[in-house]
């Protein structure tokens, strides 16, 4: 199904506008991008290491992760993505995938052909810059996670990750009153922060006991944003959100 | 290798019932804790809380009982990684 213009386009524009400003003409051009929308179940691979995709995808709904497997079969999740993100935008220029990407919840995905992305980038240099910036922010997130995995305690890493979700989901209107939906399993959180799932379970209990989070089902509420930020050693600078 | 176990209380602040695991030379190789029956992840199972030497990597598996823990620890001690 090709949808245009649609909620998917508006979400992509909202996300890009959280990091750059776009003119009406540029937004109109983005609304003309053909997007093939599809639904995927939880734990579906979207792209795998070694793939040579001819399209990139826009995450329309749900959560996805970027992961690598070790020779032993252990998984390291190196990033999560939230609606509005274009997780494999870099495959436009790096032809062979060096990581895999999978859904961690049921997802709606919009595929955009590389050819269409190249055309819009050729015509609109500022859209090209916006896409470039999007991939640069992804790289910044990897650097921040690497610092955490190497040097922060697991408790602080988890607090940091929750802060990151809050800020990224807020940027696309998916967090309200310091509450957001986080339908991610403890095993996935463990694979992301590089701890065992037993440790992650204890950390979540500790965060709750310390009053840093309240949880109800998959809903996470942050009663004291400042305290969670301090626990996570969190400075949102690395997300490079627009200040104006 | 004959492993020996010694009960211990561990200050994890969660699951206190623990077991020190010694190798045949009476050197401490691991600390196991028994997760409570209420644990959401692996209720009632034994968890590798800490390992030393060849067990000192990033793996923290859980085991259904002490026998399976013993098999896993022995395999790790015999084979490099």
Look up the domain containing A196 and give its range: 152-239
Whether residues B35 and A198 touch (CB distance < 8 A) is answered with yes
User: Quick one: CA torsion of A108, A112, A113, A114, rounded to 10 degrees?
Assistant: -120
For A73-125, what is each residue's pLDDT tens digit? Answer: 999 999 999 999 999 999 999 999 999 999 999 999 999 999 999 999 999 99
Q: pLDDT truncated to tens, each residue of chain A (244 aa)?
A: 444 468 999 999 999 999 999 999 999 999 999 999 999 999 999 999 999 999 999 999 999 999 999 998 999 999 999 999 999 999 999 999 999 999 999 999 999 999 999 999 999 999 999 999 999 999 999 999 999 999 999 999 999 999 999 999 999 999 988 999 999 999 999 999 999 999 999 999 999 999 999 999 999 999 999 999 999 999 999 999 987 6
Q: In whole numbers, what is the pLDDT of chain B averaged over residues?
A: 92
**ipTM, 2 dp:** 0.88
N-terminal to C-terminal alpha carbon distance within chain B: 16
Report d(CA A173, CA A154) in Å as an integer: 28
Q: Is A50 inside a domain boundary?
A: yes
Domain boundary (A126, A145, A164) is at A145
Q: Are residues A31 and A88 in the same domain?
A: yes
Q: Name the residue of chain A whose CA is nearest to B58's CA.
A: A195
Residue of A2, A90, A4, A106 lying closest to A47 (CA atoms): A90
Helix (H, G, I), strand (E, B) or coil at A215: strand
Q: Is A203 inside a domain boundary?
A: yes
Q: Are residues A45 and A131 in the same domain?
A: yes
Copy the structure tokens of residue A11. 């979400």
Task: State which H helix or E strand residue B51 sits in.
Answer: strand B46-51
Q: Is A244 inside a domain boundary?
A: no
Q: Are residues A133 and A163 in the same domain?
A: no
Report d(CA A180, CA A170) in Å as an integer: 9
List % helix, strand, coil for chain A (3-state, nearest 5). 45, 20, 35
Q: Are residues A222 and A178 in the same domain?
A: yes
Q: Where does the pLDDT of residue B80 fall: very low under 50, low under 70, confident under 90, or very high at 90 and above? A: low
Look up the domain containing B25 and give its range: 4-78
Q: Are residues A135 and A204 in the same domain?
A: no
Q: Are residues A112 and A47 in the same domain?
A: yes
Return the residue in A149, A196, A201, A208 with the most chain B beta carbons within 10 A, the one to mutate for interface testing.
A196
Q: Are residues A173 and A122 in the same domain?
A: no
Domain boundary (A114, A145, A176) is at A145
Which pLDDT score, from 0 to 100, does residue B59 have? 85
Q: Is A67 inside a domain boundary?
A: yes
Q: Are residues A117 and A230 in the same domain?
A: no
How many structural domains compose chain A?
Answer: 2
The CATH number that applies at residue A16 is 2.60.120.10
Interface check B62 vs A, CB under 8 A: yes
* Torsion sign (Cα): A229, A234, A239, A241: positive
The CATH number that applies at residue A164 is 1.10.10.10
Q: Are residues A199 and A217 in the same domain?
A: yes
Whether residues B60 and A196 touch (CB distance < 8 A) is answered with yes
Whether residues B41 and A197 touch (CB distance < 8 A) is answered with yes
Q: Are residues A202 and A117 in the same domain?
A: no
């Amino acid at each position: 199904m090709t949808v245009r213009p649609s909620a998917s386009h508006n979400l992509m524009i909202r996300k890009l506008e959280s990091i750059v400003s776009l003119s009406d003409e540029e937004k109109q051009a983005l609304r003309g991008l053909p997007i093939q929308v599809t639904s995927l179940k939880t734990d579906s691979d979207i792209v795998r290491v070694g793939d040579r995709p001819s399209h990139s995808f826009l995450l329309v709904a749900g959560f996805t992760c970027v992961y690598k497997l070790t020779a032993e079969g252990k998984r390291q999740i190196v990033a999560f993505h939230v609606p509005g993100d274009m997780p494999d935008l870099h495959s436009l220029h790096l032809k062979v995938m060096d990581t895999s990407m999978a859904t961690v919840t049921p997802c709606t995905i919009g595929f955009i052909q590389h050819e269409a992305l190249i055309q819009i980038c050729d015509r609109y240099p500022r859209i090209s810059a916006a896409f470039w910036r999007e991939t640069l922010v992804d790289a910044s997130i990897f650097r921040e996670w690497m610092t955490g995995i190497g040097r922060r305690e697991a408790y602080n890493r988890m607090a940091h990750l929750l802060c990151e979700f809050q800020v990224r989901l807020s940027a696309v209107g998916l967090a309200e009153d310091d509450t957001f939906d986080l339908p991610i399993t403890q095993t996935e959180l463990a694979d992301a922060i590089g701890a065992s799932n037993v440790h992650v379970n204890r950390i979540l209990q500790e965060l709750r006991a310390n009053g840093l989070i309240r949880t109800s089902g998959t809903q996470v509420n942050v009663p004291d944003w400042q305290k969670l930020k301090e626990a996570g050693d969190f400075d949102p600078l690395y997300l490079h959100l627009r200040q104006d | 290798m004959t492993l020996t176990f010694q009960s211990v209380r561990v200050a994890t602040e969660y699951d206190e019932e623990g077991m020190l695991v010694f190798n045949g030379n009476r050197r401490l190789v691991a600390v196991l804790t028994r997760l409570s029956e209420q644990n959401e992840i692996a209720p009632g199972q034994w968890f590798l809380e800490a390992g030393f030497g060849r067990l000192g990597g990033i793996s923290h598996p859980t085991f259904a009982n002490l026998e399976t823990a013993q098999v896993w620890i022995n395999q790790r001690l015999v084979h490099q990684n």
